[in-house]
Amino acid sequence: MSDGGTGIEALISLISRLPGLGPRSARRVVLMLLKKRTTLMAPLAQALSVVAQSARDCTLCGNISTDDMCDICTNTQRRSSGEICVVEDVADLWAMERGMAFQGCYHILGGTLSPLDGIGPEDLRIPDLVVRVEAGDIREVILALSATVDGQTTAHYVAESLEASQVRVTSLAQGVPIGGELDYLDDGTIKAALRARRPLF
Ligand SMILES: [Zn+2]
């Protein structure tokens, strides 16, 4: 390599592992950072270091946060809505938030039930959800899980687990590719799917 310095090469190699970036764009990114060492590179390094050390799962919903509880869970207005939207992962939560259609709280399962991959209920945050619903003033649980077989199996399992609590369980409108694909939907579609939610059983 002609640019000299293994540190810079190592940086390029790390940056190229980010989504949407290959070696060529990584090189451009690093070159730009090097040109803006004080105004961009140093603050970025500082921010990365702070978040790397403090990032953890929200103890209530599983969202990624730099505190024990995330901004959504500490928002009393959202807590008092009595609505919990159940999603598979953080990307889905972020997609829902981007649409600004939902004003309640979330619960991240961490995946879907998948017997073939050996993923059972105890591997997901389903027991936590049951505890949460039974402990709090929850009016409605909205399931926003994938339209895949695993996603729908999980939705039914969650609904059954919540049966004893007598909470209202709904699901986002059918036919909408949600779950893993929630991130690719435009905000209007997410809003429409939320408005058209229906009881699961
Ligand atoms: Zn949270």
Quote the CA–CA distance of 175 and 21 in Å, as a whole number: 32
- CA 105 to centroid of ligand 1, rounded, Å: 7
Each as own residue / partner, the long-range contacts of residues 109-115 (CB below 8 Å, 24 or more positions apart, any chain) are 109/62, 109/145, 109/154, 109/158, 110/62, 112/88, 112/145, 112/146, 112/148, 112/150, 112/151, 112/153, 112/154, 112/179, 113/150, 113/153, 113/154, 113/157, 114/150
- CA 155 to centroid of ligand 1, rounded, Å: 21
- Per-residue tokens: 149: 């077989």
- CA 38 to centroid of ligand 1, rounded, Å: 34
- CA 42 to centroid of ligand 1, rounded, Å: 30
The pLDDT score that the predictor gives to residue 182 is 66
Averaged over successive runs of 10 residues, the pLDDT of the chain (201 residues) comes to 73 94 94 97 96 95 95 95 94 87 93 89 92 91 88 92 92 61 69 77 63
168: closest CA among 139, 130, 193, 196?
139
The pLDDT score that the predictor gives to residue 201 is 63
- CA 68 to centroid of ligand 1, rounded, Å: 8
Residues 136-180 have pLDDT tens digits of 789 999 999 888 888 889 999 999 999 999 899 998 875 555 545
- CA 67 to centroid of ligand 1, rounded, Å: 9
- CA 64 to centroid of ligand 1, rounded, Å: 8
- CA 41 to centroid of ligand 1, rounded, Å: 30
The pLDDT score that the predictor gives to residue 72 is 97
The pLDDT score that the predictor gives to residue 198 is 77
The pLDDT score that the predictor gives to residue 200 is 73
- CA 22 to centroid of ligand 1, rounded, Å: 33
- CA 200 to centroid of ligand 1, rounded, Å: 24
Residues 6-17 have pLDDT tens digits of 899 999 999 999
- CA 167 to centroid of ligand 1, rounded, Å: 20
- CA 182 to centroid of ligand 1, rounded, Å: 19
The pLDDT score that the predictor gives to residue 14 is 95
The pLDDT score that the predictor gives to residue 36 is 97
What is the value of pTM for the model shown? 0.79
